[in-house]
Amino acid sequence: MPELPEVETVRRGLEPAMTGFVITHAHVNRPDLRWSFPERMAERLTNRRVLMLRRRSKFILADLSSQETLLIHLGMSGRILISGDPLGQFAHDHPAPEKHDHVVLEMENGARITFNDPRRFGAMDLIGTDRAETHALLHKLGPEPLGNQFDGPYLASALMGRNTPVKSALLDQRIVAGLGNIYVCEALFRAGISPMRRAGRISAKRAAGLVPIIREVLTDAIAAGGSSLRDFRQADGELGYFQHSFDVYGREGESCRRLDCRGTIRRKIQSGRSSFYCPLCQR
C-alpha cells in the first residue's frame, strides 16, 4: 500500500494539472470501489473548480469550489495518472480507456486524470470541506510527521508507558499519521533502534532523536519520487526510485550497510508484517 511519500509524490504531480482548473466532466464508471461512491458523484464533481490539493496521512484531499472536498485513497493497487497536459508537464497523450479506469476527470486545460484500480481496494468520498477533518477516516489520525505538532516532546509522551514494540507504535496512525512499514523500518535502522524494543523503554532523549530521522527518511523518499514496489507509479507514470536506497527493507540475508558493522539483515514478522533490521547495530 502506498505510504506517505508515495501519496505526497502523487499529490505534487497532480497539482499543476488540477489546482485552479475546472473539472469539465467527471466519468464514474462503476458504483463503488472498496465502499460505495457518494450519491451523484459525477454530477457533484462536474463544473467544479479545484481550489487546493492537500494531503492528510495517506489520503489526497481536493477542495472544490462547491465547498465540498473529494477524498481519495489509493488502496493496494490504485493509481492516478495524468495525460494530455497542454502545459507540457507530462509526456503522455490520452491513452485508450482501460478495464479498470473507474473514475476519469476531464479538466478544462485538456488534462485527463484517471483513477485506475484493478483490485478495487481504493476509496473516494465527497464531504463538506469545513467538516473534512471529522470524516470517519480522518478524525482519529495523529499529527503529520512532517508537521510542527510532531516533535520530540510529543513522541516521547506518546511512547511513554506503552508495552508494544516501537515498530507497532509508530505504525499506529493515532500516534503519527502516514507512516507505513517501509519507512518505519528505515527510520529505526538510521536511529539504531531495534523494532522489537518496547516503546515505553525508549528514553525521552532517544525518542526526540527519532523525530528528525523520521522526517529525513520521508524527505529523502519524497525527493526520490517514493518507492515503486509492485503497483506504484507517479502521476506522470514514472517509477519512484527510493527502493534503491533501502538500508534494510527487503534486504534479508544481506550485509549491513554501516561501514563499522559486520551484521546481516534479518527479517522478523511483527503483527503480520515483516520487520527488517540489523541485530548488531539496532538495540
* Domain match, 92 and 51 both: yes
142 within a domain of the structure (yes/no): no
- pLDDT of 76 higher than 90: no
Of the candidates 11, 55, 56, 58, the residue annotated as catalytic is 58
Q: Which of the four pLDDT bands, split at 50, 70 and 90, describes residue 65?
A: very high
Longest distance between any two alpha carbons in the chain, whole Å: 61
The mean pLDDT of 99-114, rounded to a whole number, is 94
197 labelled catalytic: no
Assigned C-alpha cell, 53: 490539493
230 labelled catalytic: no
* Domain match, 180 and 232 both: yes
- CATH number (domain holding residue 247): 1.10.8.50
Of the candidates 12, 44, 215, 273, the residue annotated as catalytic is 273
* Domain match, 117 and 34 both: yes
* Domain match, 115 and 158 both: no
Question: CA-CA distance, 281 to 283, in Å (whole number)?
Answer: 6
205 labelled catalytic: no
Secondary structure class of 208 (helix, strand, coil): helix
* Domain match, 230 and 164 both: yes
The mean pLDDT of 45-68, rounded to a whole number, is 97
Q: What is the pTM of this model?
A: 0.89
- CATH number (domain holding residue 21): 3.20.190.10
Within 81-234, residue ranges assigned H as helices are: 152-159, 166-171, 181-191, 204-223
Count of domains for the chain: 2
- pLDDT of 71 higher than 90: yes
- pLDDT of 262 higher than 90: yes
Of the candidates 3, 8, 68, 106, the residue annotated as catalytic is 3
Residue in 54, 51, 83 with CA at minimum distance from that of residue 67: 51
Residue 238's beta-bridge partner residues? Answer: none
107 within a domain of the structure (yes/no): yes
Dihedral (Cα; 81, 58, 221, 282), 10-degree rounding: -150
273 labelled catalytic: yes
Question: CA-CA distance, 9 to 245, in Å (whole number)?
Answer: 17
Cα distances (angstroms) measured from residue 79 to each of 179, 197, 217, 253, 264 = 19, 35, 23, 32, 35
- pLDDT of 239 higher than 50: no
Domain residues for 10?
4-134
Q: Which of the four pLDDT bands, split at 50, 70 and 90, describes residue 92?
A: low
Of the candidates 2, 5, 16, 165, the residue annotated as catalytic is 2
130-188 pLDDT, tens digit each:
999 999 999 999 999 999 999 999 999 999 999 999 999 999 999 999 999 999 999 99
Q: Is 212 exposed, middle or buried (0-12, 13-18, 19+ CB in 10 A)?
A: middle
